[in-house]
Chains A and B, each alone.
Chain A
Amino acid sequence: MSSTLIQTDRPRVSLREVDAHTRRRRGRSSLARILLSLGMVVAVVPLGLILAEVTRRGLPALDWEFLTQIQPGARRDGGGYVHGIIGSAYMVGFATLVSVPVGILAAIYLTEYGRGWLPRIIRFFTDVMTGVPSVFVGLFIYALLVRGAFGFGAIVGAAGLAVLMLPIIVRSSEEMLKLVPEDQRAASIGLGARKWQTIMRVVLPSAAPGLVTGAMLAVARAAGETAVLLLTALGSLQVVSQLQGTPIASLTLLIYRGARQPFPAGQQRAWAGALLLMLIVLVLTLAARFVTARWGNRR
């Protein structure tokens, strides 16, 4: 039966030995791996540069005085951003009070009641709304509220921030509510609870950590927002405690104006403000990650 074995004159080569074409392909592959790794490094560098530079320039000026004083004239040293801190706290606080309940309720509608075409439309346009430029939201609030009747102020600024926060909260809350097992709802209904009782006492508590995460991310976004406030809160050089009727400062507006001053003292304060803002935002973001990670492990 040796006739089935075909004899060839080809010299026997080891399978490990490869031709030039394969070597080229291998070389290209190694090169690609190196380039991709380099790309990763290049992407991380800016983050390091930002964190390092803001810390280096901001830390010396970020002291008690910075947190408790308003700023003197642009050329003068010292002083701080307390008026901006108060303004930001006011506006982000009010925006949160409005957008978190509305956003979570909207998410409840989408997950618990949503069937048919309306939820799909809401979901789609919520996604689209996350991409609306913040300056346009500012123009919208200006055209609708500021110019109409209310003038510049904290409540109007908060309204702008709430519009920005709403889609973020709706979408993240919806994802979290979807993670609540259907069995829990069925068990609750089976015990005789009404649907609203099921939602309020079973679904929401079960999803609470996730909902908090979404809210924190939205708060972080609002705390760092400038463009909307430029058109609605306008900014101020004084501490403003009125809720409406007077322009009010925010941390971000002070950084924006401080950065464009030619005076070192003003720029110095802007760096300190940037450091403070970045700390707030990063703490919120990392805390949100932490909550998600812990919560994810528990399920």
Chain B
Amino acid sequence: MSITSTSPDRRPDLRPTGSGRWADPLFRAIALAAGVSVLLVLGLMIGSTARDAWPVFDYQGFVSFFTSSEWNAGSSRGEFTGVYGAFAFIYGTLISSAIAIAIALPLALAISLYINRIAPKRFRQALSYTVELLAAIPSVVYGLWGLLFFSPVVLQPISRVLIGTFGNVPLIGWLFEGPARNVNYFIAGNVLAIMILPIITAIAREVMAQTPEDQIQAAYGMGATDWEVMRRVIIKRSFPGIVGATMLGLGRALGETIAVAMLIGGQQRWGASLFFSGQSMAGHIASTFQDAAPETVDALIAVGVGLFVITVIVNVLARLLVWRIGRVAGDAAL
């Protein structure tokens, strides 16, 4: 009793006084503003492009814009005079991305399994870094290399073999119709596969590494072989993560611009053959933007909005899948 009565009440001293007490709320507000700025940028992005694209959808018709394959750029400043059907580019985007996934996914799975289960422990880190270096190479370098080296030296001979082998096979022959020029869907798809390999691998590898060791050992204990453990335990357990990783890769492939613009062909038409020289949505924007009249720029923005919607849907689904598995860190820069 005596102790409390003799000690003076210190509480007023502890209460913040002076201008310093505003520092914390101020700092919080600044940090909050920075955090919200990300959402703001995304909102502005959607708003400003949708505003410019709307008149084009209005003029051409929403359905016709996405299903017609006739693109005839107008040259007017204030009104719409051209014909804007983006189907040829949508097809180019889809087919090149499909080729990329078809090549990159099996490879990425093989690499992830190899790094996780077969490679000696001390090489694992180095091998992952090596694959991730592929993500560091700028896309314009991929384009240059693909155009002047990879396509003429490596892919053209492969294309000729594919066309020669499958070109006359009934049912699938139309996919392998030649002749193959130096730039076409197949070339773009192959280079895209190299470009998206690191992101699929990075996530698939991390997801696979999360397989509990007990389950693996239990499978071995029951007599499973290495391959059975990989297939029945690791891949089976990591399946949702692998789907998520694939979709992230798909998102990148759909949106990739410069390398595809340089390699896909440049014709504003579409063809069913894998070796047709067509154009993708992103590639078309990049290739024709510079010479486009104002009305056509609006149409290109509309193509961009279509591309954005597709990639965002793919990315949101992918993130939801990957997030469910738990935090997979470190893919932001891939």
Contact = CB atoms under 8 A, between A and B. Distances in A.
Given A35-B110, A122-B39, A227-B282, A29 B255 contact: no
B257 interface: yes
A285 B118 contact: no
Contacts of A126: 38
B254 to A, nearest CB: 7
Nearest to B316: A128
A28 B286 contact: no
A131 interface: yes
B139 interface: yes
Contact of B111 (A43, A255, A282): A43
Given A44-B130, A139-B300, A109 B34 contact: yes
Nearest to B225: A29
Interface stretch (B41-49, B56-64, B80-88, B167-175): B41-49
B31 A194 contact: no
B330 A196 contact: no
B225 A196 contact: no
B1 interface: no
A220 B137 CA distance: 9
Contacts of B282: 133, 135, 227
A40 B197 CA distance: 11
A50 B315 contact: no
Interface string A130-174: 111111110110111001000000000000000100111011100
A74 interface: no
B264 interface: no
A170 B41 CA distance: 13
B172 to A, nearest CB: 24
A57 B143 CA distance: 15
Contact of A130 (B27, B48, B332): B332
Given A32-B227, A175-B329, A196-B24, A39 B38 contact: no
Contact of A112 (B31, B42, B133, B225): B31
Interface string B303-321: 0100110011011101100
B79 interface: no
Interface string A210-236: 000010011011011111001100100
B36 interface: yes
Contacts of A252: 138, 140, 258
A259 interface: yes
Contacts of A128: 42, 312, 315-316, 319
B35 A106 contact: yes
A109 B138 contact: no
Interface in B165-201: 194, 197, 201
Interface in B246-270: 248, 251-252, 254-258, 262
B35 A168 contact: no
B230 interface: yes
A29 B228 contact: yes
Contacts of B106: 39
A50 B145 contact: yes
A184 to B, nearest CB: 18
Contact of A134 (B145, B255, B323): B255
Contacts of A196: 23-24, 26-28
B319 A133 contact: no
Contact of B230 (A32, A43, A132): A32
A255 B145 CA distance: 11
A253 B124 CA distance: 36
A144 B47 CA distance: 9
Interface stretch (A89-97, A237-245, A271-279): A271-279
Interface in B115-145: 115, 118-119, 127, 129-131, 133-134, 136-145
Contact of B225 (A26, A199, A278): A26
Interface string A182-196: 000000000000111
Contacts of B301: 139, 142-143
B3 interface: no
Contacts of A139: 49, 285, 300-301, 304
Contact of B118 (A36, A54, A199, A260): A36
B225 A125 contact: no
9 contacts: A35-B110, A43-B201, A109-B34, A128-B315, A133-B255, A143-B49, A224-B139, A230-B286, A281-B136
Interface of A: 25-26, 28-29, 31-33, 35-40, 42-44, 46-47, 49-50, 53-54, 57, 101-103, 105-106, 108-110, 112-114, 118-119, 121-122, 124-137, 139-140, 142-144, 147, 163, 166-168, 170-172, 175, 194-196, 199, 214, 217-218, 220-221, 223-227, 230-231, 234, 252, 255-256, 259-260, 267, 270-271, 274, 277-278, 281-282, 285, 289
Which 5 residue pairs of A and B lie closest in terms of their CB atoms, listed nearest first? A224-B138, A133-B255, A39-B110, A105-B34, A29-B225
Given A114-B35, A168-B332, 12 more contacts: A39-B107, A39-B111, A108-B31, A112-B31, A128-B312, A130-B332, A132-B312, A132-B315, A135-B257, A224-B139, A226-B258, A234-B290
